[in-house]
Each structure stands twice: as C-alpha cells, then as structure tokens.
Amino acid sequence: MNLTKVALFTKEFPPHVYGGAGVHVEYLSQALAEKIAVEVRCFGDQQVQEGNLTVRGYPQWPETTQNTDARFVGAIDALARSLVIAKDTLDAQIVHCHTWYADMAGLWAATLWGVPYVLTIHSLEPLRPWKVEQLGNGYHLSSWIERTAIEQAHAIIAVSKETREDVLRLFTVDPAKVHVIYNGINPDEYRKSTTNEALTRYGIDPERPFVLFVGRIARQKGIIHLVNAIPHIDPSLQVVLCAGAPDTPEIAQEMQERVTAVSAGRDGVIWIEQMLPRPDVIQLYGHAAVFCCPSVYEPFGIINLEAMACETAVVASAVGGIKEVIVPEETGILVPLELKPGTFDPVDAAQFSRDLAAAINRVAADPALQQRFGHNGRKRVEDHFSWGAIADKTIELYTSLI
C-alpha cells in the first residue's frame, strides 16, 4: 500500500502555540505536506486549507468546565476533545499524535478506523512531578492517559536517544517500537538578523552585549536558576529574560520576587513578560552575545537549535536531549547538573547558578569564541536538523506500519 495521507493530532497549532511541541507540529506538517496529504486536528478554532495541508480546530466543550475543579479541567478537556477528534470521519492511513493531550484521540481513532497510530514523545509526565502543584490529582489522570496511549501505540518517536531510554525505563513497551527522530528547524527562517529595532522596542541597549533566555516560566525550564545566577554575571552584560506563561501563580510570584531581588542595585535586567512574535525572537537570538538554556528537564530543547541557527553561542545545562544537540566546546558550553535522586532539584542549586554564570561570563568576554561557536552551531543545524530530512525519516516510519 502506498502512503498518501497522514492525520496529525495535537493540542497546539498556530496561532495557538506556547511550547516546543507546537513549533514541532507546525513545521513537520509543512514538510510532510510537500510529499503527502496532511490533515491536522488540533485544539482551537483553526480552519485552513492550503494545498496538501488541511487544518481543523476543535473548540472546548463548555461542559468540561462546569462544576469542575479548575485543576482537573486540562485533563478532562483533553479527553472530551480527543473523543470528538477520534470519532470524526477519518480517511488517513495513519494517525500521528503529539503530547498526552491528544494521545487518547490517537488510540481511539486507531480503534474506530482500523489504522495504526504513532505518537511523538516531547516530554513525559513521570519526569514532571512538579505538575502536582498545578494540577493536583488531575496530574494522575494526565499520567494515566499518557501511559495508556504509549503502551498501546504501534510506534513511538522519541526526540532524543535519552528520551528513548526514558520511555523504555518508565513504560512497558517493545524496544523495537521506539524510534529516535530528532526535532528540526527551518534554517531559512531562523538566521542571524541584520536589524535591531526590536531590541530598542523592548528596552534593550543595542550597544551593550546581553545574555538571552527564551521560554516559559516553568520548573523544568530552570529559569529560577538563571535568575539566581544574575548576581554572578558580569555587570557589563544585560540579562534579557523573554519569559511568560507561568505554570502556576506560585512560580509566577517566585519569579517576580527573585527578579526584583537580583535587580536591586544592578541595571540591565530586562524581563519581557510575554511570548514574543517569532520575528522579534529571531532578532533577539541573532544579537545576543550568549543564549542560555538552564533547563533541569529537556527531552530535546528546540530553542537551542533556534539560537544556533542564528549563529549565537549557547550555554546550557547538560541534561536530556540537549547533550545531543550541543557539541561541547564546538557549538557551546554544557554546564554539569546533578539532580537529587527521584527529583529535578539540583543537588547544589547555588553551585549550578554560579556555574551558569561562569560559563556565560567566559563566552561573553571572548568575541572570537562567540564567533567560532556561532559559526559551528549554524553549520550543525544545516547539516543535521533540517525539517526535510526529518519528514523523510518520519514518512519511512509511517510506511513501515501500513
């Protein structure tokens, strides 16, 4: 049988994207649509028909919020929308799900329509125990959804080798079903910008070097450790934190308190509290002296690819898939991070923050090192992480299943 159409099930799809999984699905769908028909079913109100790509959004049911504990709405809503996504007539030969929010839709659709389903692991609930703060027992429901879908999937795509090892360690699955296909990036879109008007617009001095963070305010992103590193960062450096969408009110308050504390007596700490348009982020990447990714849990870390594509040196924690993206002393610096057993809390958080600062200071003080890391990073992106190559690998997996 020849493969002619795939259905992608996802929570996030433009314009409703807040994390790396949404970025992944956006670009993967475009790359796949150059070769086969693609139907995206997502959470939202999208309605798109462009060549081989069809996108249909599924809005929230009002009933999922009525008389419901607010902490449970995410998981209940995911199940409700997944049911509608799965039951709607399907003519694709294979279903491909992204994140636990849409995984149950894949399992149900495979059952109803007699097609195989694949799911991509962008993160794993057992490795995000801090979500109990946010979801209460809703976290246990999301974990059940994820486990049920993973253990019945026809194939699983891990975005890094370490993520594959996590899947095999945490779930009962046949190792032959778990494949590694990396995240990708569009190097034509992500490239060093020659303009700097966005810097001025956000209060950044174009004449002063700066270290950049881009991401959500979430435990796994490690932003608090970078904020705590600020007193140790060379005061001639600006610190630009593009950080929004806090997971909980508690972490939002903690972030506010720490930024206020470390900014006292130090200028050049700039906190941009919203998720920026992509052209603005690309501009910031390209002008940063250093990009910092202090994550404590990161299955892949697509933001590092974005920075590297913009020829920016990267300082990142040596965790998860980051170690498969950044080549130490060639494209950036990996900062060791030892975690307390069974947690994602650093054994010595203060030392980790100091180590981040030391690596940032080293790169920022050496323009030749910045240039070498930036050049090598761009080349690595072009050679290994193009979406065209990733789409080819994904289609090869699809074909093996049908």
Q: Is the model's pLDDT at 10 over the cut of 80?
A: yes
Contact (CB, 8 A) for 83 and 108: yes
197-384 and 5-184+386-401 share a CATH fold: yes
Count of positions (residues) in the chain: 402
Rounded CA-CA distance 330/10 in Å is: 35
Q: What pLDDT score was predicted for residue 299? A: 87
Q: Is the model's pLDDT at 133 over the cut of 80?
A: no
Q: What pLDDT score was predicted for residue 30? A: 96
Place 274 in a pLDDT band, splitting at 50, 70 and 90.
confident
Q: Is the model's pLDDT at 131 over the cut of 80?
A: no
Query: What does the pLDDT look like over 206-215, one tens digit per residue?
Result: 999 999 999 9
Give backbone dihedrals phi and psi of 148, rounded to 5 degrees, phi first. -60, -45
Q: What is the CATH number of domain 5-184+386-401?
A: 3.40.50.2000
Q: What pLDDT score was predicted for residue 49? A: 96
Place 247 in a pLDDT band, splitting at 50, 70 and 90.
confident
Q: Is the model's pLDDT at 275 over the cut of 90?
A: no
Closest CA to 21 of 96, 85, 92, 91: 96
Q: What pLDDT score was predicted for residue 106? A: 98
pTM (two decimals): 0.82
Domain ranges of the chain: 5-184+386-401, 197-384
Q: Which two tokens stand for residue 227?
A: 């904020």
Query: What does the pLDDT look like over 291-336, one tens digit per residue?
Result: 999 999 898 888 999 999 999 999 999 999 999 999 999 999 999 9
DSSP state letters, 256-274: HHHHHHHHTT---EEEE-S
Query: What does the pLDDT look like over 35-60, one tens digit per residue?
Result: 999 999 999 999 999 999 999 999 99
Q: What pLDDT score was predicted for residue 333? A: 98
* Average pLDDT rounded to a whole number, residues 344-354: 95
Contact (CB, 8 A) for 25 and 10: yes
* Average pLDDT rounded to a whole number, residues 244-262: 91
Question: Average pLDDT over the chain, rounded to whole?
Answer: 94
Q: Is the model's pLDDT at 194 over the cut of 90?
A: no
Give backbone dihedrals phi and psi of 190, rounded to 5 degrees, phi first. -90, 100
* Average pLDDT rounded to a whole number, residues 190-195: 92
* Average pLDDT rounded to a whole number, residues 229-245: 96
Q: Does domain 197-384 have CATH number 3.40.50.2000?
A: yes
DSSP state of 219: G
Place 343 in a pLDDT band, splitting at 50, 70 and 90.
confident
User: For the chain, how many helices (H) and strands (E)?
Assistant: 15, 14
Contact (CB, 8 A) for 93 and 3: yes
* Average pLDDT rounded to a whole number, residues 335-354: 92
In the block, tokens 């994140």 appear at: 99
Q: What pLDDT score was predicted for residue 283? A: 97
Q: What pLDDT score was predicted for residue 250? A: 87
Place 397 in a pLDDT band, splitting at 50, 70 and 90.
very high
| CB neighbours of residue 193 within 10 Å | 18
DSSP state letters, 151-182: HH-SEEEESSHHHHHHHHHHS---GGGEEE--
For residue 298, what are the β-bridge partners? none
Point out the least confidently predicted range of 15-24, 131-140, 159-168, 268-277. Answer: 131-140
> Backbone dihedral region of 54: left (phi > 0), alpha (psi from -120 to 50 degrees) or beta?
beta
